Amino acid sequence: MKIRHEGLVRNKAVHIALGVRADGTKEILGLWLEQNEGAKFWLRVMNELRNRGVEDLLLAVVDGLKGFPAAIRAVFPEATVQTCIVHLLRHSLDFVSWKDRRAVAAALKDIYRAIDPAAAEAALTAFEAGPWGRKYAAIGQSWRRAWDEVVPFYAFPAEVRRILYTTNAIEALNAKLRSAVRTRGHFPTDEAALKLLYLVLNRTEKEWTMPAREWSMAKAQFAVLFGDRFNKAMA
């Protein structure tokens, strides 16, 4: 967002935390306006969530933000961190020329559609050894760096994976916020910007009445994977 600060209009990032409860209902956990991101900022956000009442975090789906997974685990050490596969794919294609993008995207499908982590790693190795992996070596390296946050979703069936491998829910929310901001140019203060976003978020949250259609199957899977932690959340 463009916000006036000390006589100059500066770009500031607004971060939104979207929580999903055990019954599948969504809730805005907070929004933070920050000019500089980093591990210290993410740690402050996670500590704030815990201090405000978040007792446990079972599964966090995040974009490739440096220092964020470590900050999550520092505050919620039992949390499983899953990187957004769609974000990872987009990042991979940033290395690729336009004429090769469709072919490279098709070649990467074998990795994220694999039946288990072993098959996924074998597919990644095959990609790296293949023509596209050799031509665009940075893709394999980026997947390797994020691998610990890539593999958690392989524990779930295809129906549940659709919930986990993308941050579509929060991206749809961000699209609404951008639409509200776009017509207003810049804001005179941080408070004015946050006030508008709060009103949009408050209205949007009232529209969320049903969980994702895959949630009934996901609950059964989460109950097995997380055991008493999930059952406590359901209670």
Q: What is the pLDDT of residue 220?
A: 86
Q: What is the pLDDT of residue 167?
A: 64
Q: Tokens 């978040």 belong to which residue? A: 54
Task: Specify the pairing of strand 26-34 against strand 13-20.
Answer: antiparallel
Q: What is the pLDDT of residue 183?
A: 78
∠ Cα 53 55 59 (to 5°): 120
Strand extents, DSSP E, 42-171: 59-62, 80-83
What are the residue ranges in the chain where pLDDT is below 50? none
Q: What is the pLDDT of residue 134?
A: 94
Helices 39-51 and 68-75: angle between axes, nearest 10 degrees: 30
Q: What is the pLDDT of residue 157?
A: 81
**Residue 180 corresponds to which tokens in the numbers above?**
């509200």
Q: What is the pLDDT of residue 184?
A: 80
pLDDT (tens digit per residue) in 23-71: 888 889 998 987 677 888 999 999 999 999 999 999 998 877 778 889 9
Helices 190-207 and 168-182: angle between axes, nearest 10 degrees: 130
The CATH number for 2-84+167-234, chosen from 3.30.420, 1.10.3470, 2.60.40, 3.40.50, is 3.30.420
C-alpha distances in Å from residue 11, one per residue of 34, 76, 172, 175, 176: 9, 31, 21, 17, 19
Residue pair 108/91 in contact (Cβ under 8 Å)? The answer is no
Dmax over CA atoms of the chain, in Å, equals: 56
Q: What is the pLDDT of residue 107?
A: 94
Q: What is the pLDDT of residue 1?
A: 85
